[in-house]
């Protein structure tokens, strides 16, 4: 496995997220958008995950030249993102972000399958590669905070464009030969997805990502309204992802001691507590630090365990589409619903109520996984 070349791809891919998630909402606010518009635009940013991963996964499962697809999509993402420099209207930005994210979301599911194929026989080893994405996120968040504080949110745009170019350049270093090959699959894909334990897993993941809506859409705006500087906000984001890296490094030990279902259940329960801390105690800096430390569970352990589930549930030529359906249902539909609902409850109901709804969604994910995701479903592959 080309460890360092894959690590550089993860670094730049999640550095883009480190620029987008904390600061894109602040940029939209700076050019005059209201919370409902910001929520809608953030939803459009992830709505392409509903369609794009499945299209690209189908192509990946039926073609040998998978890296060619990744390179083309990465280049197209750079080109279409440049549209943000040519207009600030709602519908123009909506179109640009929808098209750009369609191509941006193309590459990661293909590479995730490749990494899992090389690491999944060693539970938790995936985290050692994925941690470089977290490092990229931290670098982008920490570096952009002071820039946004002193020069303004507009500078997020060229930063994202440069990081997108880094994704494309990294894709050029990955060898096509490493991505070739396709194994047989035992049954039609739709029958695999409709297995009760797989449906329960996907529904729980969807609810978990819905619960993240207020955090990814309004966390920076929320803290800014309580007097925190953008540099401090950036450091809080970075600290959360630093805790995530710690969990990725501990995952081999955790998954040897606990089954994947247990890790997921703990992640869902801690997510509910995290959203309540943020929503009801924004002026208590110590509690905000505790809440950010819980990112280790709400994303780190959740995603690492989820990837292990996907690898075990989907085999052979179902791998890319299995990864795609996981991305579509959780980060796509779940992320879009979370951004959209939070944008429409933020002002009418208030931030505390919006985060309380998020906590309820996390608890619903816990209930689904507890009652419907059988322990046996987490043990046997296929």
pLDDT tens sequence across 371-382: 988 764 444 343
pLDDT tens figures, 256-309: 899 999 999 999 999 999 999 999 999 999 999 999 999 999 998 998 899 888
Specify the pLDDT at position 292: 97
Task: Say yes or no to pLDDT of 178 above 60.
Answer: no
Range of the domain at 207: 3-378
pLDDT tens figures, 43-63: 887 777 777 777 777 776 666
Residues 97 and 44: beta-carbon distance below 8 Å: yes
pLDDT band at 355 (very low <50, low <70, confident <90, very high): very high
Specify the pLDDT at position 304: 84
Q: Which residue has the higher pLDDT, 117 or 181?
A: 117
User: How many residues in total does the chain contain?
Assistant: 382
Task: Say yes or no to pLDDT of 179 above 60.
Answer: no
Specify the pLDDT at position 287: 97
What rounded mean pLDDT belongs to the chain?
86
Specify the pLDDT at position 154: 95
The reported pTM is 0.78
pLDDT band at 353 (very low <50, low <70, confident <90, very high): very high
What are the residues whose beta carbons fall under 8 Å from the beta carbon of 153, sequence distance 6 or more? Answer: 23, 26, 27, 29, 30
Residues 354 and 345: beta-carbon distance below 8 Å: yes
pLDDT band at 183 (very low <50, low <70, confident <90, very high): very low
CATH number at residue 85: 1.20.1250.20
CA-wise closest residue to 117 among 179, 55, 184, 52: 179
Q: Which residue has the higher pLDDT, 292 or 187?
A: 292
What is the pLDDT averaged over residues 2-18? 86
> CA dist 286 to 18, 157, 282, 292, Å?
23, 32, 10, 10
Task: Say yes or no to pLDDT of 241 above 60.
Answer: yes
In total, how many domains does the chain have? 1
């Amino acid at each position: 496995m080309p460890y360092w070349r894959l690590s550089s791809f993860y670094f730049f891919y999640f550095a883009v997220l480190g620029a987008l998630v904390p600061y894109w909402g602040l940029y939209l606010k700076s050019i005059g958008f209201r919370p409902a518009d910001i929520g809608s635009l953030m939803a459009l940013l992830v709505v392409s995950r509903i369609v794009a991963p499945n299209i690209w996964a189908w192509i990946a499962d039926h073609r040998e030249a998978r890296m060619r697809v990744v390179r083309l999509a990465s280049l197209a993402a750079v080109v279409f993102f440049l549209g943000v420099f040519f207009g600030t209207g709602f519908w123009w930005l909506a179109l640009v972000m929808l098209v750009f994210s369609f191509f941006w979301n193309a590459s990661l599911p293909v590479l995730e399958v490749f990494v899992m194929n090389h690491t999944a026989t060693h539970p938790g080893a995936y985290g050692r590669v994925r941690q470089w994405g977290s490092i990229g996120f931290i670098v982008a968040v920490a570096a952009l905070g002071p820039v946004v504080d002193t020069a303004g949110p507009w500078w997020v745009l060229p930063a994202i464009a440069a990081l997108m170019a880094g994704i494309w350049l990294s894709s050029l270093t990955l060898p096509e030969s490493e991505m070739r090959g396709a194994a047989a699959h035992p049954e039609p894909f739709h029958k695999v997805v409709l297995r009760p334990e797989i449906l329960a897993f996907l529904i729980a993941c969807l609810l978990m990502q819905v619960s993240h809506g207020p955090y990814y859409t309004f966390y920076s705006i929320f803290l800014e309204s309580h007097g925190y500087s953008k540099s401090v906000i950036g450091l809080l984001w970075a600290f959360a992802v630093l805790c995530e890296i710690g969990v990725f490094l501990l995952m081999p030990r955790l998954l040897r001691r606990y089954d994947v279902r247990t890790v997921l259940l703990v992640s869902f329960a801690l997510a509910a507590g995290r959203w309540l801390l943020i929503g009801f105690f924004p002026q208590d800096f110590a509690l905000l630090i505790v809440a950010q430390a819980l990112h280790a569970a709400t994303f780190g352990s959740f995603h690492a365990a989820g990837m292990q589930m996907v690898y075990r549930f989907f085999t052979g030529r179902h791998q890319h589409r299995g990864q795609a359906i996981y991305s579509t249902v959780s980060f796509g539909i779940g992320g879009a619903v979370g951004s959209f609902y939070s944008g429409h409850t933020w002002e009418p109901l208030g931030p505390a109520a919006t985060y309380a709804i998020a906590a309820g969604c996390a608890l619903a994910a816990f209930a689904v996984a507890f009652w419907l995701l059988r322990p046996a479903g987490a043990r046997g592959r296929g």
